């Protein structure tokens, strides 16, 4: 028997299993659109209903950016609309940690190996435990990485514009002190936006300051690294390696040395991939359904004027 | 100025930086052997002092197994001796999670790629978030994986001999129900000892029951998997892939299909590698120094009679 107070949610345009789970976890029940108090939508604006019943008081959209929904005139003032702002940061963070672990544990070379090179890799596989990982740029992605890295016993050195201490980081320094970190941290994750200040932040001087075992992970933008200087450092072995989800130039052309350097990993800008997006969204939906049921403010509400 | 109550620790045979850090973290001060209350040793029995000053009340050895130390007559009844029992499980757990992430996020194939195959990998990179990971065998290694996997938002299905609920697991089933899990979990980590019951636990029938996206990680023993059946499943694409730190046969011979199958990762039994051992040991040393200073029982004390 259904609770009479359970929010009635329409899930469209089709019954995505992860989102259905999220709605039920949040205490909602799935209903056809005409009986709905709220709508959870899993696809783009093209298939969105032309008219919503007036009973619909809330709509959850699937994307972090909602400009196409606003410009299509879909988002209205008659109900609350929420986006997935911040939700996908976790997925990018997972990719960043996967890349860092692959680097630190020498998986790039082990994956390419075709014989049992135990004596060699026994001295090459390292650990995140006790390592200091600098996260350059601690917005949603950088912050989402902190609990992952600390679970492995790493310490986080956060670099932010303001220098205001980031929760969970052992230390936070402001961006004017970035040059200090190259020799202090064991590994680096770039998660800062591409701006004139971050352009080629990792240049020849930065690379020269790093430990010979340091791995650099880039899940931000390719422009943050001087690619030619990086290729030289990788070829010289002056750093441990680089694992890049973004490159400069991007897409990385065939024949580029980064494709074949043994201490380089390139993934083609897939840190927030199409598969599993709704699995990632499901928890956000669940939290919002719970808040909706309780009459509490929803997460990631959209402000039409602001455009997000 | 040093606290007069800080335990005086001798670190030998050389000043390992990670262990020095651990000793200081625990509140100890480093002193020459003749002034020591305790000794932390970073290498094997060969270089251990023939005689210890009678002031030495505790010795921390660097290995989990201490049989060579006992048979060499080094471990005596005149002081407390501690080992690194359980300490390295965390390192194997890190390797297991690194392998699982590499599998789930399609890094094996991306590392080998030499062109920007974004459209393909955008649909192949998945996430641990919301996935159910079965850990077969929940001793020290399996238990150390649980906080790592749950940090990524995965749910853990533990399989143990007793079926007694494992802390942190969403569900624990006893080993007689192992066949149930093949179709229920999204991914599998093998962390059980090699026994007659676990021999070829992952056989053709188990593989046939798994989801087509399932990854299998083996950080236990090669004998737990029917290698020929696994190779067929990988070649057919009937499972997602396999990431193996141990193989059967081991070492894996050159020319074996596991070296070149695109959905296979082999690391040559390096989950607990020689590099970074002392970094992993440092926290244990730190905890024991703190306990020593407070007069509390130490962790991983050695019982000469028992032999560990």
| pLDDT for the residue A276 | 66
Q: Is B34 a catalytic residue?
A: no
Residues of chain A scoring pLDDT < 50: 1-3
Does A304 map to a domain?
Answer: no
Q: To the nearest whole percent, how much of chain B has pLDDT over 90?
A: 85
Domain region containing B179: 89-266
Residue in B114, B125, B259 nearest the CB of A270: B125
Instruction: Tell whether the model's pLDDT for residue B2 goes beyond 70.
Output: no
**For chain A, where are the alpha helices, taking DSSP H only?**
17-25, 67-71, 89-104, 107-112, 118-121, 140-151, 178-184, 204-209, 227-236, 277-294
Among B20, B127, B254, most A C-beta atoms within 10 A, so best to mutate, is B127
Tokens representing B295 are 């007069």
Whether the pLDDT of residue B3 is over 70: the answer is no
Beta partners for residue B225, in sequence order:
B202
Asked if the structure places residue A2 within a domain, the reply is no
Chain B hits for A24, Cβ within 8 Å: none
Is A120 considered catalytic here? no
b/e for B177-200, b at 16 or more Cβ within 10 A?
ebeebbeebbbbbbbbeeeeebee
Contact A190, A182 (CB under 8 A): no
State the residue for tokens 């450092």. A233
CATH of the domain at B48: 3.40.50.720
In terms of CA atoms, which chain B residue is nearest residue A124?
B275
Q: Measured in Å, how far apart are chain B's first and last C-alpha atoms?
A: 38
Of the residues B109, B171, B250, B290, only one is catalytic, namely B250
**Sign of torsion over alpha carbons A229, A234, A239, A240:** positive
Q: Are residues A112 and A250 in the same domain?
A: yes
| Domain annotation covers residue A306 | no
Residue of chain B minimizing CA distance to A111: B265
The whole-number pLDDT of residue B66 equals 87
Residues B55 and B102 in one domain: no
**Is residue A308 situated within a structural domain?**
no
Does residue B302 lie in a domain region?
A: no
* B151 within some domain: yes
Tens digits of per-residue pLDDT, A64-103? 878 889 999 999 999 999 999 888 898 999 999 999 999 9
Give me the helix-helix angle, B140-151 and A140-151, nearest 10°.
Answer: 170
pLDDT value of position B181: 97
Catalytic residue among B10, B95, B187, B221: B221
- A242 and A117 assigned to the same domain: yes
Known catalytic residue at A232: no
Its ipTM equals 0.80
Could A151 and B148 be called an inter-chain contact, meaning their C-beta atoms sit closer than 8 Å? yes
Chain segment B53-93, per-residue pLDDT in tens: 999 999 999 988 788 899 999 999 999 999 998 888 989 99
**Cα distances (angstroms) measured from residue B91 to each of A27, B67, B122, B140, B281:** 40, 22, 31, 11, 10
Average pLDDT, chain B: 94
Contacts of A122 in chain B (CB under 8 A): 268, 270, 273-275
The beta-carbon neighbor of B130 closest among A18, A110, A269 is A18
pLDDT given for residue A11 in this prediction: 98
User: For A85-89, A261-265, B28-32, B97-101, which range has the lowest pLDDT when averaged over its residues?
Assistant: A85-89
Q: Give every CB contact of residue A196 below 8 A, 6+ residues apart in sequence.
A: none
Whether residue B222 sits in one domain with residue B83: no
Mean pLDDT of B118-147: 93
């Amino acid at each position: 028997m259904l609770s009479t107070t359970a929010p009635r949610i329409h899930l469209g345009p089709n019954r995505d299993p992860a989102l259905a789970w999220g709605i039920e976890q949040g205490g909602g029940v799935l209903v056809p659109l005409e009986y709905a108090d709220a709508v959870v939508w899993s696809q783009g604006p093209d298939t969105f209903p032309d008219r919503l019943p007036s009973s619909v008081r809330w709509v959850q959209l699937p994307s972090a950016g909602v400009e196409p929904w606003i410009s299509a005139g879909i988002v209205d003032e008659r109900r609350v609309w929420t986006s997935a702002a911040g939700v996908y940061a976790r997925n990018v963070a997972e990719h960043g940690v996967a890349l860092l672990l692959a680097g630190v544990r020498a998986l790039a070379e082990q994956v390419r190996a075709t014989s049992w090179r135990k004596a060699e890799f026994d001295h090459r596989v390292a650990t995140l435990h006790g390592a200091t990982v600098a996260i350059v740029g601690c917005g949603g992605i950088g912050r989402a990485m902190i609990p992952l890295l600390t679970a492995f016993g790493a310490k986080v050195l956060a670099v932010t514009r303001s220098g205001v201490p980031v929760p969970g980081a052992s230390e936070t320094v402001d961006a004017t002190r970035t040059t200090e970190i190259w020799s202090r941290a064991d590994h680096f994750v770039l998660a800062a936006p591409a701006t004139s200040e971050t352009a080629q932040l990792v240049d020849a001087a930065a690379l020269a300051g790093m430990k010979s075992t340091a791995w650099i992970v880039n899940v931000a933008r390719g422009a943050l690294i001087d690619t030619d200087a990086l290729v030289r450092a990788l070829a010289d072995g002056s750093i441990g390696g680089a694992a890049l989800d973004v490159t400069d130039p991007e897409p990385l052309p065939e024949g580029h040395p980064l494709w074949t350097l043994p201490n380089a990993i390139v993934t083609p800008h897939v840190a927030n991939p199409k598969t599993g997006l709704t699995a990632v969204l499901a928890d956000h939906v669940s939290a919002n359904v719970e808040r909706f049921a309780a009459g509490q403010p929803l997460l990631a509400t959209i402000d039409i004027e602001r455009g997000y």
